Every structure is written in C-alpha cells, then in structure tokens.
Chain A
Amino acid sequence: DAKTTQPNSMESNEEEPVHLPCNHSTISGTDYIHWYRQLPSQGPEYVIHGLTSNVNNRMASLAIAEDRKSSTLILHRATLRDAAVYYCILIEQDDKIIFGKGTRLHILP
C-alpha cells in the first residue's frame, strides 16, 4: 500500500481555518486520496475524498497538489467538535484501508 505522512499533532483556535497536510509521494495513478476522522470512543467518520481535482463538501475541502504527491484537508472554520484524529489514506476503489497514525487535531477555545 502507498504510504502517507502526516504530522503527529496540530493545534488551532476555534473559529479559524485549519489546514491539515499529508504527503504521499509514492501515490499511484489509481489511488484515491481519502480523509477520515475519529472522535474519541467512536468509529471513524468519512470526511472527503478525491482523485485529481480539488473537492468541496459540507464538512471540508480537499486541495490536491498538481503532481498528487501531497494534499491538504481544509476545515474552513474549526469548532470544538472538530477535535479528532484525522487520517489521510490512499486506497483503490473498494480496497481495504490501512490506517496510519494520523494527525491529532486540538482546538483551542
């Protein structure tokens, strides 16, 4: 499986935008870039995914570098409820997910 590299933790102030980076220099042409997040004592939650173009949904935006070797998850206005571990994962369609350590996001009130 192609691997991703994320910072262990990040902090952000409430109501400010958050940019969560992810490096995936060995990405293949068929790998989708997925982001999931896990709140304490819950199962992971799907956030967003993309292949080549930037993507927006009600939860977040995903900015994908032109060479696809990195991507950034953007939370436009962080709230305390966004405090979670965020996982950047590369998967082929319907393939299994191998989780890395993710980024633990702390939101400061």
Chain B
Amino acid sequence: GAVVSQHPSRVICKSGTSVKIECRSLDFQATTMFWYRQFPKQSLMLMATSNEGSKATYEQGVEKDKFLINHASLTLSTLTVTSAHPEDSSFYICSASYRVAQYFGPGTRLTVT
C-alpha cells in the first residue's frame, strides 16, 4: 500500500512552453501533497504544499504564478511549469502523507531546451 505515481517520468519541452506533471496517490486518499525540486548532486527542495480543495502554500522564493498547483481531488495533484526556461530543468518529485509517513513518487525529469 501507499503508492504514489507521477506522469510523465520524463519530458522535454521547448523554452516558453508549459508542462504539466501529474501526481497520484494510487491506493489511499491524500488531502495534502507536497512538491519538491532536485538539482543534480543536491538535496530535495520543498516547493509547495498542495491542499485538496484550496490554494497551495508556496515556500519562500518559489513563484506561484510560474509553478501552478491544482489539487482537484483526493488522489490527484498537478504541477504546471508555465513559460518554462532552461533553468527550470530539474527533477520534480511529489509526495503524499499516509499514516504519519510520507510516500514519494518516482519523479519527473524535466528538460527545457
């Protein structure tokens, strides 16, 4: 139990376009999900907390208009990177809380050309 999936696993897009990443809790309901970003050789950096049915809470320094988060149901949260630029290229990971622990998706590798 407690499986989190992400789609797509890899995406390449052109500079200036938008990309949507999906995060799903497959066998449990998650009122709260979290989005992280990880650059090579670095630790995960929390971007935002996604709350079902309400607005996301963004960490300091993360642009909410650039990283749009929608948590429309208890099993799905989406992260849209708008007007992507090469510096947005990174590994994006989501997680969801379940029984005190958190369970992470496999990550999405975004490359902006």
Contact = CB atoms under 8 A, between A and B. Distances in A.
Interface in A92-109: 93-94, 96-102
B25 interface: no
Interface in B16-45: 32, 34, 36, 43-45
Majority SS at the chain B contact face: strand
B100 A102 contact: no
Nearest to B45: A99
Given A32-B100, A93-B100, A98-B46, A43 B93 contact: yes
A87 B46 CA distance: 14
A34 B44 CA distance: 16
Contacts of B36: 99
B106 A43 contact: yes
B95 interface: yes
B107 A42 contact: yes
B49 interface: yes
Interface string B1-27: 010101000000000000000000000
19 contacts: A32-B100, A36-B102, A43-B4, A43-B6, A43-B104, A44-B44, A44-B95, A44-B104, A45-B104, A46-B102, A46-B104, A85-B43, A93-B100, A94-B97, A96-B34, A96-B49, A97-B95, A99-B36, A99-B44
